[in-house]
Structure 1
Amino acid sequence: MRDVSALFAIRERYDDLSAKEKQIADFILEHPRESVNPSIEELAERIGISESTMVRFAKKLGYSGYQRFRIALARETVPVTSQLFEREVIDASDGFDAVFNSAIASLLETQQSLDRGLVLEVATLMTNARNVYLMGLGGSNIVAEDALHKLVRTGINCQWAADFHLQLMMASQGTKDDVALLISHTGSGYDSIALAEELKSNEVRLVVLTSNPRSPLARLADHVLAVKTGASVAVSESFSARIVNLAIIDLLYIHVMELLDERGIEQLNRMRASIAKRRV
Structure 2
Amino acid sequence: MSALLRIRAGRDQMSAIERRIADFILDNAQLLRDYSSQQLANALGISQSSVVKFCQKLGFKGYPDLKYAVGEAMARAGNGDDADVEAGSEASADGGLAGDLWRRKSQAEEETRSINPPRAIEAVAQAIAGAAESGKVFIIGLGEDDIHARSFALKLSLLGILTVHNFDTAHMTASVSAAGRHDVLLVFSEQGKQPSLCQIGHQFRECGGKVISITRHTSNPLRAYAHLALLVSAHDDRPSIEALLYHSALQHLLDRIFVLLCEGGREAQLQANLERIQPMLEH
Which TM bucket (shorter chain)?
0.5 to 0.7
Q: Is the contact made by 1:180 and 1:206 (CA closer than 8 Å) also made in structure 2?
A: yes
Amino acid at match of 1:205: K
> Alignment RMSD, CA only?
3.2
Residue 231 of structure 1 and its aligned partner are, at CA, apart by 4.7
| 1:121 equivalent in alignment to 2:123 | yes
The count of aligned residue pairs is 198
Aligned to 2:164: 159
Alpha-carbon distance in structure 2 between the residues aligned to 1:231 and 1:206: 29
Amino acid at match of 2:138: Y
Residue 140 of structure 1 and its aligned partner are, at CA, apart by 0.9
Alpha-carbon distance in structure 1 between the residues aligned to 2:45 and 2:97: 36
Aligned to 2:149: 144
Q: Which has the higher contact order (CA 8 A, sep 6+)?
A: 1
Alpha-carbon distance in structure 1 between the residues aligned to 2:209 and 2:197: 15
| 1:108 equivalent in alignment to 2:113 | no
Amino acid at match of 2:274: R
Q: Is the contact made by 2:145 and 2:188 (CA closer than 8 Å) also made in structure 1?
A: yes
Alpha-carbon distance in structure 2 between the residues aligned to 1:225 and 1:138: 19
Q: Is the contact made by 1:155 and 1:267 (CA closer than 8 Å) also made in structure 2?
A: yes
Alpha-carbon distance in structure 2 between the residues aligned to 1:95 and 1:166: 43
Residue 122 of structure 1 and its aligned partner are, at CA, apart by 1.1
Query: Can you give the 5+ residue segments of structure 1 that lack an aligned partner in the other structure?
Result: 1-29, 35-45, 49-88
Residue 101 of structure 1 and its aligned partner are, at CA, apart by 3.2
Aligned to 2:183: 178
Aligned to 2:198: 193
- Tell me which of 247, 258, 271 is aligned to 1:242: 247
Q: How does 1:1-280 map to 2 (within 5 A)?
A: 96-129=98-131, 130-231=135-236, 238-259=243-264, 261=265, 264-278=266-280, 279=282
Alpha-carbon distance in structure 2 between the residues aligned to 1:216 and 1:243: 24
Residue 183 of structure 1 and its aligned partner are, at CA, apart by 1.3
Alpha-carbon distance in structure 2 between the residues aligned to 1:271 and 1:195: 31
Aligned to 1:86: none
Change (3 A) 1:124 1:101: same
TM-score of the aligned structures, taking structure 1 as reference length: 0.61
Amino acid at match of 2:278: A
Q: Deviations over 1:184-215 (max 9, x none)?
A: 11111222212212212212101111113421
Which is richer in helix?
Answer: 2
